[in-house]
Structure 1
Amino acid sequence: MTRTLDAATIERINKQLLRNNYTDVGEVGVVSTIVLIPCLILLSLMDGPLFAKVILIAFLCALAGAWYLVKRAEAQERPAPDVSGLEVQQLEGYFDWQLARLGGRPIFKYNFGPHHLHMETSAASFFHGDEQLKLNRRYRVDAVFITGRSWYDTGYYLLRETFQEITDDSDLSAKEKGLVAAREKRLNSMLEARYKRLHRVYQKPQGQLEAIGDGINFAACLFGVFWLFFVGLYGLACIALMVLGVALFAVIADPDSHWFALGMLSIAVIFGACGNLCRKMQVRRKGFVEVDSIVSCNPDEAKVAYKRKIEEAQWHAPVHNPEGNSQ
C-alpha cells in the first residue's frame, strides 16, 4: 500500500523549502552588512577629500545592493516547492558523517546509511549535544525523496514525527555488527580530531545547567557589544557603548585621530580574552555552582556529557534493601 503525506505535513514541508529558496538572499544580506559597516567606518576615518569618500561609500553601497537584488531575483524565479503526491518510504539505519565538496571547498555532509539526505534534514537538526553518541545509534524514520536544483538540495527529507531510536541490535548478523563497529571506530576518530576545549559545567539547585569554555571567546571578540547584549551582560555593554561614544566624539573633534578604531579594537581584544571569565562571574551571581569540568567541542555537548555521566553513576550505584545490605 502506497502511503502519501497528509495535508498538514505537506504545508509544513512546502513552507520550509520555500524559506530555503531565500536562504542565499538572507546570507547575502548578513555578509554584505558585516563587511560593509567596517569598510564605511574605515573610509570615514581616512584622510582625503569629502567628495571622494562620498563616491566610494556610494559605490560600495550600490555594489552590496545590486548583489542583494540579483540574489533575490534568482530566488523569485525558482519554482515554488510542492511535495504533494510524493510516496512515503520507511528508512532504517545509521547517520553517517562524511567529507564532501561544495563549490570546490570541503564540507562535512550527513547521509542516512546509503541514502543521501536533503540539506534541510541533517543529523544535527534531529539531535543536539552529544553528536558522537547519537551517530553511533540506529534509527527508523519515514522519509520522502525530494529533487532539488542541486546535489545538496536533492535527497531524502526525514519526517520528525516518525523519528525513533532502535535499541535492539539482535537482528543484525555478525557481519553487519562488524561493519557497524568499523564505522563507529572511523566516526569516533573523526569526531575526536575536532577542536575541543575544557568546559566548566555549572548547575542551579533547581537543576538548570550552564557550560562555559576556558580560554578565548571568539564570539565576544568578533561581535563585541552585540555579544554582550546577547548573553545578558548589560552593564558591560553600556560601559562599552560609553567608551565608543567618547571615542566617536574624539574623532569628530579631531578627524585625523583614530580613537574610534582603537576603541573597537580594544573592546574586541578585552572581551575576547575575558568574555568567558565574565560569563562565569555572571552565572555564579545567578546562583549556579560549578559541578564538573568536561572536555568537549561546545557547551551543548558538555551539558549532555555531564547528564549522561550522572545517569551512568546512578545506574551503577549500589541498591540498598531495607535490611541495609547492598545488592
Structure 2
Amino acid sequence: MSVILAIESSCDETSVAVCNNGKITANVIANQTIHQNYGGVIPELASRVHQQNIIPVVQQALIDANVSKKDINAVAFTRGPGLLGALLVGVSFAKSFALALDLPLIAVNHMHAHILAHFIEDPKPTFPFLCLTVSGGHTQIVIVRDFDQMEIIGETMDDAAGEAFDKTAKILNLPYPGGPLIDKHAKNGNPLAYTFPVPQIKNFDYSFSGFKTAILYFIRDKVKENPNFIEENLDDICASVQHSIVNILLIKLKKAALEYGIKDIAIAGGVSANSGLRATLQEEAKKLGWNVFIPAFEYCTDNAAMIAIAGHYKFMKNDFVGQDVAPASRMEF
C-alpha cells in the first residue's frame, strides 16, 4: 500500500500528481504562457514561475486526490534531465516536504518516466518492448526489459525531432509553441507536396541538424521567388515537413523492431502527441503485426503522473535517495 506525491518541474510545466497503490488519482499541470512572448522557454523565467506555482499546485493535487499530507508515504520528483534552475525548485520542494514529514524520497529520471507513462492506464505493453521516445530535447529508441532495465539502442547525434518541429515553426513565423501548430496545419495539407532529404546515419541513430538546415534553405529560396510563398502554401509545407520527420523516425524504428524481433512497440514524449506520428504508427502496425501502445495525450507532454507511476515501481523496490540528492541537468540513462 502506497500513496506517493510526485513533482515534475524539468522545463516550463509545474505539475504535481498523486499515485494511490499504482493508480493516478490526481494530475495537476500549471502551464507557463509567459514564454510565448519570447518564442521559447526562458530558463530564469521558468524557475521563477515554478516558485509561484509549486505550493498551489501541490494543494490542488491533494484536494483532487482526496488525501491529506499525513496520508503520503513517499515523495517522488524529477531529478533530471532538464533545466537546472527549474529542476532546483521541484527538488528543493520535494526534499523540504519529505524532511518535514519524515518521508522517503524517490528520484526519477525524466526520460524513464516518459516510458513508464505506458503503465498508467490499460492496455499496457509487456516486456520486452521497444519505445521510441521523442521530445524537444531527446530522440531515442529504447529496449525496455523491465521497469528499471532500459537500454538505449539508438539516439539523435545532434538535434531532437521535437526541436526540428519547433525550429521549422519558427522559420514559418508560427507562434511558440510551434510543434502543435505544424500538426494542426498538416491536417489540411498535402504531405507529398515537397520532399526533404533523409539523413543517412548508421545503425539506429538519428540526426536532425542537416534536416533543419535543408528546410531553412528551402524556405529561403522559395521566398526569394515568391514573397508570399509561406502564406500561400503553409498547410502543404507543414504536412510535408511532418511527413518527412515521421518517416525518418519510423525507418529506424522498423529496422530495430526487425533486428530484435520485438512486436510490442510504444512511443513516448511530447512529440508522441503528434497526430501524424500516431496515425502512421498505427498504419505500420497493421502491416507489420505490431502491438502499438500510445499514452493518452495528457501523459505525453511533461506531467507528474508519469513521475508518480515511476515512483510507484521504485517504492515497491525501496529505491530511495537521501537528502543530499541534487538536481542534474543531464543524467545517465
| TM superposition score normalised by structure 2 | 0.29
Looking at CA atoms only, which structure, 1 or 2, has the larger radius of gyration?
1
Higher relative contact order (CA 8 A, sep 6+): 2
| More helix per residue | 1
| TM superposition score normalised by structure 1 | 0.29
